[in-house]
Structures are given as C-alpha cells and as structure tokens.
Amino acid sequence: MTDKPNILFVQADQLTAFVLSMYGKDAQAKTPNLDALAANGVVMENAYSNSPICCPARASQFTGRLPSTHEVWGNGAEFRAELPTVAHFLRSSGYECVVSGKCHFIGPDQLHGFDRRLTTDMYPSGFDWTIPWSLGPIHREGTSVKKLAVSGLCKTNNQLLYDAEVQFRSLEYFQTRVLEQKDQPWFLHISYTQPHEAYQSVPEFWERYDDVDIALPRIPKDAQPHPTTEWLHIHHGIDQAPPNEETIIASRRAYYAMISHLDDYLGELIAELKHLDLYDDTVIVFTSDHGDMLGERGMWFKRSFYEGSMQVPMIWHNPKRIKPGRRSECVSLADLCPTFAELGGAKEMSDKYGSDQSASFLGLLMDSSDSTKDEAIAEYYGPGVIEPWLAIRQGDYKYVWTRNAPELLFNMVDDQDEQTDLSNDSAYADIKARLKQRLLGRYDVEAVTQRAVSEKETRAFLHDALSTNDGYHWDYQPFFDATQQYVRGVNKPATA
C-alpha cells in the first residue's frame, strides 16, 4: 500500500439520495453494486450539494468554495481559470488528473488543472443558459415538466450515447495505465449524465422493474408553498402541465432504470480495477452533483433547498484505508476538495491556496477523534428563483433564508420531511439566531446579490454578441493521436 492511493471519483447527475437503499427505507432503485460499495465503505448520511444545480455545485466541489466566492451563479456563468482546484493540488503532489465525462465548465478553460479529458462535455461551454433575474419568474421549455411526457422506454438517446462513451474511455484509461506501467498515482473523475431528465431507458433496465409496484410521491404538495416553490412551479411549468399519475409512475420507473444502468457501469469499473490489480490501492468515491424532487411536494427536478434536491448520496470505499460504517455528521461537495487534497498528500498546498469555506473530513473517514466537521452551507443564485436563497444544515437543524421572503427552520431528526417550520417558535429562537448569524454573517449578501444580478445581465449581452458569425470556440475537443496507439507507438508494450 503506497502513501498516495489512486482516487476514483464517480459522479452521477441529479441522483437523489432517498431512492437508494442505504438512504431510504422505502427506496425502490435496484443497485446491487452501490449496495455492496456502501456495505464495505463509509456512507455519509448527511451530504449536501452547495448549490442544487450543475455548474455551481461542480465548481464548489472542485474549488472548495461557495457560489458567492467562485461566482458560478448558474449554468451560464464562467468558472474562472485563476481559481485553484483539487486537480491543481493533486498535480502538485505528483498525481495525473484525468476526466472522463461531464464537468459542465463554462468558459474557455475546459480543464481547470486536469491533465486531460477523455471525452468532450455534455453541455455547451458558453453563456447560453444565462437567465437575467429582471425577467421575473418565467417558464423555460428546456427545464419544463412537459418533458415528463416522454418518460419511459426509448431505443437510444443522447444521454445513453454519452454515458457509453464515458464508460468506454474510463475502462480504456485503466487498461492503458497498466500497459504503460506507470508508477504515478492517478485521480480519475468519471462523471455520467444519467439519471438527469428526460427520464428514459432501454428494455434491459426498464424490465428490471416489472415486479415493482412503483410508489407515488409520499410527501404531499404544500398547502401554502414558500415563494421559492411558487417560482419553481412557474419555471418548471408545473402550474401549466401538472403530471398525472400515469406520467409520474413512468417517470419514476425510468429514473430508477437509469440508476440501475449506472449501477451496472459501476460494477464494470470495480471488476476492471480488480482484474488489473488496481483495486486494493484505489479509493473509490461515489456521489452526485445534486438531487431531484421526483414529484415529492409536487415538485420536480432540482433548484430547491428541500432534501430531495439538496441532499446527495456519498460513499467512500477502501477498506485498507477507510474504516467502514455510517457517519451522521454534515458535509458538503465543497469539502471534497480539501479531503481529496489531504488524502493525496497535498494538504499544505490546499491549506495555502484553497478556501476556508470548506474543510477536510478525512478524520471522519478514518474515524479519528480530531475531526469536528458537521456543517453544510448552500447558496443559490441561479435560474428558477428571482431572489437568492441560502441554507445551512448544522447538527440536527436546517435554516433557510431567502431575500425578501419568509425564513424557515426545520429539525431534520424529528421532522425529516420538513413539514413543520420552527422559525417563529420562541423555543427555537436561539438556534435560529445562531444559524442565521453563521449563514449571513460571512459576507455582505446585498453586495453579492447586486454583483450576481449585474453579471447575469452582462453575460446575456455577451452571449448575444458571441453567437454572431462563427459563434463560440470553447467546447472541448478531445485529441487522440491514432498513429501512436496500440503497437504503433514508440516503445509501446503490447501486453502487461
């Protein structure tokens, strides 16, 4: 066992925690490979996205910073090249850092410290999806529940094609590493697009649920929804086209089928690591960028501070290094950056050039007593809402603050469904005040809001300008020199 293990960081897109057996007692997704990983690894019971939408969440996990600092406000905001990432830290410690799949980087820098990417990205790298808040709450066809009408079986689609390429290139990377006989440790980020909507799958996975009575959403629609929920109903078109029971069941079944597809991919990765004798010295981490409401509370997709949207599954596995079990302390995606850095021997650089908005929880994984991590903060300045909302989960409580809207406080142990707002209960005044100060006392929220609003308007103009003539030139083009592949390269070993 070396001091610097290989790190395999596997990520799903929009996979909510409550559908998995290690998180929900009524979970229906069939995931034998994830179940085995969880049984022999560490399950982080309270892991959260720092912003339940793709680009801000991923920027947080790579930099250890919150959206108010990295300023990736939504899926159309640039991720600045000057921000140090986990790839920079690990490369400084001798790692090769590679990506296969989706990163959703916006801007001309499509590597952000990684040595290379094995595939292109799934989505545009430009400012295409910038939505100024000045438009108010508006319906967006691209994120509308109208897409639920196609939920179910398909022959193929873009997501299936993309994930197949991600899987092929990932397995190829393992095999190439062995052929090249490199001693250098590696950090491989494999990022699939499933189970993101549209919810569609092929018969192989759809039929695995023939014997399952797909459950309808359990938490009822809010009688008096919070303003953010009302905005999201408009944004997602729930007010225009609320899905009927048949559509809900088809959507949930297809979502589970997509998860089973990913589970098979995970099984293939683990089998290949074992076959190539890489398994014992590889730390495997599995998570998602955010969750999906999946019809709970009458809500769909993401962008909400409720658990379905904000909580993510997170599993760490390497029995030789990490003590298996369950950890109840609160962590976030941003904490992955310093944790990976410390695991890979780059703690000094991470401490020097990283962020104080996150903290390594390697101590929790090692079950050592010196770790005090038990907090997760989320910030949302993205599309769908028209005011920023901030949330903090600390210990048993979650506090939510929305500009110009009511605040919320939930006891997440006694009220896991977030049905009882305690924010106006005098018995919880001290708890609310403490969490509010922790959340709002970190920076000038008004100044940050005005900056976010201004930058949204500027990017909308830039997108219009850059869309003329030949358009953007930022999308990543993976390069493969076929003349140097297989036995045609210089000193290429033919076997291992």
What is the tens place of the pLDDT at every residue in 56-78? Answer: 999 999 999 999 999 999 999 99
Q: What is the mean pLDDT of each run of 10 residues along the chain (496 residues)?
A: 87 98 94 98 97 98 97 95 98 98 97 97 93 87 93 97 98 93 94 98 98 97 95 94 96 98 98 96 98 97 97 96 93 98 97 96 81 88 94 97 97 97 98 97 94 94 94 91 77 63
Please report the pLDDT score of residue 488 as a whole number.
Answer: 74
Please report the pLDDT score of residue 490 as a whole number.
Answer: 57
Set 54, 97, 103, 337: catalytic member? 54
The pTM is what? 0.96
Please report the pLDDT score of residue 414 as a whole number.
Answer: 97
Three-state secondary-structure class, residue 46 = strand
Q: How far is CA 450 from CA 81, 351, 418, 447, in A?
A: 23, 30, 30, 5
Copy the structure tokens of residue 22: 């290690």
54 is catalytic: yes
By CB neighbour count within 10 A (0-12 exposed, 13-18 middle, 19+ buried), where does 41 fall? buried
Please report the pLDDT score of residue 480 as a whole number.
Answer: 84
Copy the structure tokens of residue 319: 């029995």
Q: What is the CATH number of domain 6-485?
A: 3.40.720.10
Q: How far is CA 42 from CA 3, 12, 283, 315, 366, in A?
A: 20, 18, 11, 6, 10
Set 70, 104, 189, 226: catalytic member? 104
d(CA 373, CA 365): 11
Please report the pLDDT score of residue 1 as a whole number.
Answer: 45
Q: Angle, nearest 10°, between helix axes 245-275 and 158-180?
A: 10
